[in-house]
Structures are given as C-alpha cells and as structure tokens.
Amino acid sequence: NAGVTQTPKFRVLKTGQSMTLLCAQDMNHEYMYWYRQDPGMGLRLIHYSVGEGTTAKGEVPDGYNVSRLKKQNFLLGLESAAPSQTSVYFCASAVGGPGSGNTIYFGEGSWLTVV
Amino acid sequence: DQQVKQNSPSLSVQEGRISILNCDYTNSMFDYFLWYKKYPAEGPTFLISISSIKDKNEDGRFTVFLNKSAKHLSLHIVPSQPGDSAVYFCAASVRGSNYKLTFGKGTLLTVNP
C-alpha cells in the first residue's frame, strides 16, 4: 500500500547545485502536485499536472521546473539551488476534482537544505 | 494576501473534551473545503471535507461546519484524544481550478491526558 512515495527524503545541497525530487504514485491518479512548506506557513503550491505530459505553474513556481513524462511520476527540478529553497517539499496526487468525494493524498515529504 | 486564515496558532484541550478549530476565508469563489492533520516528519493526512452546498459534514468524532455568509468553517473533534495532537490545516479549493488547494498556516492541537 505505497500510495505517494517521494525520493530522496533528505538532501543537503550547495548553492548553485542542481537536483531532482521524484514523486511516484501507484493509485493511477491523473492529478499530481508539488507543494513546499516553510516554518509558520501553510503549504504553497509550486507546480501541478492534470495528466501525463501536462504541467502548470502554481503559486510559487520560480526557480523550479517539473516534468510528467509518465502518469505515475512527477519530477520536481531545481536547476540552480538557492538558500531560499530550503524547505520541506510535499508531493500529492488526486484521482479527480473536488465535489465528487475525491481527495488529495500526500507523500511523506522531502527535507531539502541549501547551504 | 492570505486567502485562508487560521488565526489560532495553537490550542490545548483536555482529553475527552471538545476541540474546536477555526478557519476563515476571504475568496468567495472557494466551494470545497478540506481539513488535513499533520504529525511531525509526516505528510498531511486527509481528515474530512465539505462542499459549499452543505453546512455540515460528520465522520465519526469529526464534524466540519461551514458558514458561507461568514466565510467561516470549523472542525469539531469530540471527544478529543491524545492521539489527536497534531497540526491541523484548513484548505480550500475553487471548482474548475484543477483541485489546487490554498492552505491556512495551521493550528497545533495538543490534547492533554
């Protein structure tokens, strides 16, 4: 019963380095999301995807890129990491939109520190 | 401009009593609301939701009330248990927005034995 799986769980980067966070879901969900959570803040949407091959910007997209080449995977990339990107990143997925009893399921989080 | 507000950063209640967590929103386009619970070092877990066509939804010990005219919703937990101690996030969505959620900052609930 994997649900939404994020890798890696922890990572320390130097300023300017690049990395990719991988999110995988085994629920055949169409919608996938990347959020970040900072101290004293709620979760903020970075990018999202409504299906394989599609991506769209969320609330705080700058400095990040995403790809959804396969339905089950949603990748979040940092091309040139900055200390402001130190955060906890959560991936989420949903089968469909609200109002139909569906909900959004979250992964356990990826802790990223940029020094 | 914060569209979903949880004005109480923390709440402490005794085991067996009622916990009431509050959430206010400013965007009148929001039509679906959710509550998530989050333990430290874990992802948020869905708790309960409510559509704007309803004013109450109940699931076991958890009840969510929606007051659209006041743009206010609340989560009631009765009776509260020590295992309920967690951060609770209120979230809202607009129909047709591809289920993008706007979150509040969260309320830390502590249930004392």
Task: List, for residues A99-115, the tens digit of each pLDDT value.
Answer: 555 678 999 999 999 99
Helices (H) and strands (E) in chain A, counts: 0, 11
The reported pLDDT for the residue numbered B16 is: 97
The reported pLDDT for the residue numbered A101 is: 57
Give CA–CA dist A103/A95, Å, rounded.
Answer: 8
Q: Which residues make Cβ contacts (< 8 Å) with residue B33, sequence separation at least 6?
A: B23, B25, B49, B50, B51, B52, B64, B66, B73, B90, B91, B92, B93
Tell me the one-letter amino acid at B41. Answer: A
The reported pLDDT for the residue numbered B72 is: 97
Q: Give the mean model confidence (pLDDT) for residues A24-31.
A: 93
Q: Give the mean model confidence (pLDDT) for residues A12-34.
A: 95
Chain A residues with beta carbon closer than 8 angstroms to that of B36: 106
Average pLDDT, chain A: 92
User: A9, A88 in Cβ contact below 8 A?
Assistant: no
Chain B residues with beta carbon closer than 8 angstroms to that of A88: none
Q: Which of residues 37-96 of B touch A (CB under 8 A)?
A: 41-46, 49, 51, 89, 91, 93, 95-96
Instruction: Assess whether pLDDT exceeds 80 at residue B104.
Output: yes
Q: How far is CA A101 from the centre of its chain?
A: 23
How sure is the predictor about A1, in pLDDT bands with cuts at 50, 70 and 90?
Answer: low
Q: Give the mean model confidence (pLDDT) for residues A4-30.
A: 96
The answer to whether the CB atoms of A42 and B36 lie below 8 A apart is: no
The reported pLDDT for the residue numbered A41 is: 84
The reported pLDDT for the residue numbered B41 is: 87
Query: Of B43, B95, B98, which is closest to A50 when you measure between CB atoms?
Result: B98
Instruction: Assess whether pLDDT exceeds 70 at residue B12.
Output: yes
The answer to whether residue A61 neighbours chain B at the CB level (below 8 Å) is no
Find out whether the peptide bond into A83 is cis, omega within 30 degrees of 0. Answer: no
User: Nearest residue of A to residue B108 by CA position?
Assistant: A40
The answer to whether the CB atoms of B98 and A98 lie below 8 A apart is: no
